[in-house]
Amino acid sequence: MGYLNMPDKTAESLDENGWLRSGDLGKHDEEDFLYITGRIKELIITAGGENIAPVPIEDAVKKEVPIISNAMLIGDKLKFLSVLLTLKCVTNDDGDPTDNLSPEVLDFCRQHGIKATKVSEIIANKEPAVYKAIQEGMERVNATSTSNAQKVQKWVILEQDFSVGTGELGPTLKLRRPIVVKMYQDKINKLYAAERQ
């Protein structure tokens, strides 16, 4: 029906077919299931004042580097963008991420002569093939950026994937950005340490 005595607000909230604009971003998978992936109004405002929608950049990173499970863009009130990355891994019976790499990542590792089977081994050894693949993917994403402010300058691989059980994702699998920032503040500080000196 719309907002009482507020036709402008009603027109803003409903499309021409009467569907409610919820402000959510989503995608359909191969089986036509709908996944809520973020919010339209989710914006990062850099120290330079540029407004950047994080979800398209995060999705582009995941598309360019298929071994990446999750990507979270960082850069609110900061001089440049960076991204927190997680590798695809096996989940336990509760749906929580384990240290074991997913079959897809294991295939990538075998193709590149990497013996690692765990996320921790990839990080500990700074596996050159994995880090190179991620950097090259990041460069491809940056090549499509509309401005320098939208280019990802630094990234880090986290020890475990995001999940509902560990708190980084909400019940609809949306990224809980403030919680992730709080959980990984030390890693974020290291990404920006040289800038703050």
Q: What is the pTM of this model?
A: 0.78
Could you give the CA distance from residue 164 to residue 161 in angstroms, rounded to a whole number?
10
The whole-number pLDDT of residue 3 equals: 82
Asked whether residue 14 is domain-assigned, the answer is no
Could you give the CA distance from residue 91 to residue 83 in angstroms, rounded to a whole number?
23
Higher pLDDT, 41 or 106: 106
| CATH of residue 154 | 3.30.300.30
The whole-number pLDDT of residue 197 equals: 42
The whole-number pLDDT of residue 161 equals: 95
Asked whether residue 11 is domain-assigned, the answer is no
Higher pLDDT, 34 or 130: 130
State which amino acid sits at residue 54.
Answer: P
Asked whether residue 4 is domain-assigned, the answer is no
In this prediction, residues 89-100 reach a mean pLDDT of: 91
Top-ranked range on mean pLDDT: pick from 26-40, 120-134, 165-179: 120-134
Domain that holds residue 59: 22-192
Q: What is the pLDDT of residues 60-76, one digit of tens each?
A: 999 999 999 999 999 99
Asked whether residue 52 is domain-assigned, the answer is yes
Asked whether residue 178 is domain-assigned, the answer is yes
Asked whether residue 7 is domain-assigned, the answer is no
Asked whether residue 13 is domain-assigned, the answer is no
Band of residue 171 on the pLDDT scale cut at 50, 70, 90: confident
Q: What is the pLDDT of residues 4-47, one digit of tens each?
A: 888 888 887 888 888 887 777 677 888 999 887 666 667 888 88
- Own/partner pairs for 3-9, CB < 8 Å, 24+ apart? none
% of the chain at pLDDT higher than 70: 94
Do 82 and 192 meet the contact criterion of CB atoms below 8 Å apart?
Answer: yes
Band of residue 146 on the pLDDT scale cut at 50, 70, 90: confident
Counted domains in the chain: 1
Asked whether residue 84 is domain-assigned, the answer is yes
In this prediction, residues 118-128 reach a mean pLDDT of: 93
Q: How many residues does the chain have?
A: 197
Beta strands 81-87; 89-91: pairing state: unpaired
**Is the C-alpha dihedral spanning 108, 153, 51, 185 positive or negative?**
positive
Could you give the CA distance from residue 27 to residue 58 in angstroms, rounded to a whole number?
14
